[in-house]
Chains A and B, each alone.
Chain A
Amino acid sequence: MGVVAEVERKLARARCRQEADAEPDLRTSTMTHVVWAPEAWLPTARRVLAGLAERHPARTILLVPVRGRRSGIEARATVEDFETGDGREVLSEVIELRLSGDAARHPASVVLPLLISDLPAFCRWRGQPNWESQALAELVDVCDRLVVDSSEWPGIPAGYGNLAALFERIAVSDLAWRRGLPWRVALAGLWPGIRKAERLTVEGPRADALLLASWLRSRLRRDVALRRRAADTIESVRVDGRPVELPARSGPPTASDLLSAELDTLSRDPLFEAAARAAAR
């Protein structure tokens, strides 16, 4: 039996077991969520998924490339249920595939038959992709949207150039860009005073700061110098020395919140694309 048939059989059995608990079950999916998570990223990826699955009923395919020259796929398939609050349960499917050798280089061959028909497929790529890899090329071709977090990359700003090369092939999201949204809103609120801004000072992660400055440059069509002090999240932003105020709002979003927001977005984001291209320069 092939790995896909085995996965389907395991899922069918798991669904039957779930149905035996006397709660009426619904199998409702809004997408296929593919996650490329090398082993070092696996615990973090699982944590984020745990906070996400209930919000986005989906088939999640967790691809874990492991060392080993021999081609092989180890599959685990489980069904998770979430109460809807009315005595019913919604089932989400999680398929974990550990890929080695050729199988890790050609993930599309196993992902493609497992995609849910007619629904969008998102690929969350953990860490910095190997831009030249066959695995990335294949997943870009079978998915509709690639979600990265450039703050996970050691190689910025060069990585933005590689990312920009994918824009014509797949819609792309960057969680570092999403994190900067409240600050972009606050900066937009400074118009027209900000029109001639010359210097942006950001206390925050490098990727977040770079994208914020690049966005400002691309929108204002002028050079804006960036100064940065390192911090885990964006703590403060100044324009020409003047602090930018964020409205008193609820706390920062969790990693699951950020990814959840990206999974609701289906189309290309020309503003992000322009900012990423500007950041690569």
Chain B
Amino acid sequence: MAANPLAQGLGVRRQPDPCALVVFGASGDLTKRKLFPALYSLAYRDLLPERFAVVGVARTEETTRQFVTAMRRAVKQFARDPFRSDVFDRLAAGVRYVPTDFADDDGEDRVGETLDELDDTRGTAGNRIHYLAVPPVAFPVVVREIGERREREGWSRVIIEKPFGHDLASARELSATVRRWFREDEVFRIDHYLGKETVQNLMALRFANGIFEPIWNRQMVDHVQITVAESIGIEGRAGYYERAGVIRDIFQNHLLQLVALTAMEPPIDFTADAVRNEKVKVLRAMHTPGPKSVVRGQYGRGWIEGEQVVGYREEPGVDPRSMTDTYIAAKLYVDNWRWADTPFYVRAGKRLARRETTIAIQFKRAPHPPFEEIAGDGMRPNVLLIHVQPDEGVSLAIGAKVPGAGMSIRTVHMDFLYGGAFREGVPEAYERLILDAMLGDATLFTREDEVEEQWKLVDAIVGAWSRDVPMFPDYAAGSWGPAKADELLHRDGRSWRRH
């Protein structure tokens, strides 16, 4: 049949196929705070397929009506868009809740029956997205049960929350389970940082602007600093955090992904494999020069925004002698032509002075400033600062002459605030990622080999840590981390960026 001449140039966004989204762990915080508000915002913008349904699955005993009421409250509280009954009701009409333990045969059948009913009444055509918002320990069981009941009609995809595994061995084991039932292009491993607009803007900044690429290398860049700082504590997640620590919670995924995106070569296009191939090359080339180049820490008591907060070991559910890391700083190298010998200093932590995720590219100093020495005191190297959150945007620190006689130089910041230039609301990461999964676009999800490379680095660090016993706690809540982290840079004649 001839191509549709009417469809040309309509500029209409690709619509996802009809489908049902099955959320395992639907009674959890993620569903309330992120997933349902994201679905509402997609509905608000008419981005969901016409024929769409949501099945919430969890052990909590409640009816569909009660679940919908709870989600209505959640949307009102957490969605970025104003609440509109007509939009919510349209979405809610396709919502079902199945209270069950999915590992039971009976539970699986009830979920299956509900999906069949939705195929009939909502026209979801046998297409399924399974969202695993369950504790990591439940991943293998749920994947196996979904896989065994996979239907022949329609497509089936699975979205898996981080962390994907606990170390390289468990990640490989989980991958093997997943691979039994799903092809790689049906697996969407979420690292929600990749759904953030500013993380994507990093690629726009690098690859849509001719001025940056020529200076984005070891010749011009002195070093890179990446900070993922949180001011909050563990928020009642002691069970998870005691096992994970910051190294598995943040470093293994968000932080290493930010390094990969900062250091990667330009992909030939913006397709899933092209982008992920380049990231994997960086991850493979990445290493830390030795145990002394990695610092771990744990917060003690301190003050956050005028309030005294307890130390990690005093948090409910935490072992009073816990050796879990809540802070990590590391010097990493990417051994390739572009970055050889250029350090990437990265740090992440809980209960730090403020919430901030930034990537700072510090350039080499001007080789010979022709000003008097005294006037040169204010001369600092140029820094391109990418604010991932909050205040999403980009700043460039440049030297400028102070008005008046003489030639005094001061560093000033040129700011581009993302929300200032583009006043359309910035979508939440989960909106983008859920929509992409519906469309089958895995560009902003991590691939199996990426995850494995990330675990290799983490395993090497954890292996070295097992040989010593640090003195914890070693930094006060509300500070910028342990003194050893400062020493890590001082040894190289550098310091962490001043906040």
- Residues of A that sit less than 8 Å from B by CB: 26, 28-30, 54-57, 82, 84-86, 88, 90, 181, 184-185, 187-188, 190-192, 194, 216, 219-221, 247-250, 269-271
Contacts and interface: CB of A to CB of B under 8 A. Distances in A.
A26 B420 CA distance: 7
B9 A270 contact: yes
Interface string B1-16: 1101111111010000
Interface in B332-363: none
10 contacts: A28-B417, A30-B421, A82-B423, A85-B419, A86-B391, A88-B420, A191-B5, A192-B2, A250-B46, A271-B9
A191 B415 contact: no
Contact of A55 (B9, B50, B423): B423
Interface string B420-435: 1111100000000000
A28 B10 contact: no
Chain A interface SS verdict (over half): loop
A55 B6 contact: no
Contacts of B401: none
Contacts of B12: 185
Given A184-B10, A191-B7, A219-B5, A86 B87 contact: no
A185 B10 contact: yes
A191 B421 CA distance: 39
A191 B7 CA distance: 9
B493 interface: no
Contact of A194 (B6, B390, B391, B417): B6
Contacts of B216: none
Nearest to B1: A192
Given A86-B391, A219-B5, A250-B87, A181 B423 contact: no
B10 A188 contact: yes
Contacts of B390: 86
A184 B6 contact: yes
Given A55-B423, A56-B423, A84 B417 contact: yes
Given A86-B419, A192-B4, 10 more contacts: A26-B417, A28-B417, A82-B423, A88-B391, A88-B417, A90-B417, A90-B423, A190-B6, A191-B5, A192-B2
Interface in B369-389: none
B6 A84 contact: no
B416 interface: yes
A249 B90 CA distance: 10
B423 A188 contact: no
Contacts of A271: 8-9
